[in-house]
């Protein structure tokens, strides 16, 4: 069971996902710092508020921290926009690569679609005893008379 778990954990896609989660966590810290330390204070200049996280509505004994919620929304939008830009850039690179490959394939006759003939089934085999070439249906070698094991 431990061996199976090790095989599962060491598969390429699991490791890629783990690395993605770790990098995503680090990226989220950067974006949170960007929002809290640069963007929200810049917005505060225009709105006259210094800190959005302290904006609270109190109803009875409950506090609704809508300022923190606004900061979290801005945080999310920046992360989503960053991911959008990254995916868009990757897609553009893939499109350019695909376009270049198609362009090269049109110029190069090696890549042109030619109907390939199917590979014919073998008609001979090698005797394991005398290494002579014999008919594939043979059950006894005509050269050394050894009996051959038929593989069906």
Instruction: Please report the pLDDT score of residue 151 as a whole number.
Output: 60
Instruction: Please report the pLDDT score of residue 8 as a whole number.
Output: 72
Parts of the chain belonging to CATH 1.10.1200.120: 2-111
122: Cβ–Cβ under 8 A, 6 or more apart, which residues?
136
Inter-residue contact 119 to 68 (CB < 8 Å): no
Question: Which residue ranges of the chain lie beneath pLDDT 70?
Answer: 9, 12, 49-51, 105, 107-116, 150-152
Instruction: Please report the pLDDT score of residue 49 as a whole number.
Output: 62
Domain 2-111 sits in CATH at: 1.10.1200.120
In the three-class reduction of DSSP (H, G, I as helix; E, B as strand; rest coil), residue 58 is classed as strand
Instruction: Please report the pLDDT score of residue 46 as a whole number.
Output: 77
Question: Which residue stretches of 1-152 are H helix?
Answer: 2-9, 12-34, 40-47, 66-107
| pTM (whole model) above 0.75 | no
Nearest to 66 by CA among 86, 81, 49, 82: 49
The Cα 11–Cα 54 span in angstroms is 46
């Amino acid at each position: 069971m431990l061996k199976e778990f090790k095989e599962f954990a060491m598969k390429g896609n699991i490791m890629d996902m783990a690395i993605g989660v770790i990098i995503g966590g680090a990226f989220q810290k950067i974006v949170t710092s960007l929002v809290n330390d640069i963007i929200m204070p810049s917005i505060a200049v225009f709105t006259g508020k210094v800190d959005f996280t302290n904006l609270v509505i109190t109803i009875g004994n409950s506090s609704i921290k809508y300022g923190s919620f606004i900061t979290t929304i801005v945080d999310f939008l920046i992360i989503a926009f960053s991911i959008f830009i990254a995916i868009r850039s990757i897609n553009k690179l893939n499109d350019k690569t695909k376009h270049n490959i198609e362009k090269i394939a049109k110029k190069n006759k090696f890549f042109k679609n030619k109907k390939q003939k199917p590979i014919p089934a073998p008609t001979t085999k090698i005797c394991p005893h005398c290494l002579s070439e014999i008919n594939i249906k043979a059950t006894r070698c005509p050269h050394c008379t050894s009996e051959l094991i038929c593989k069906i």
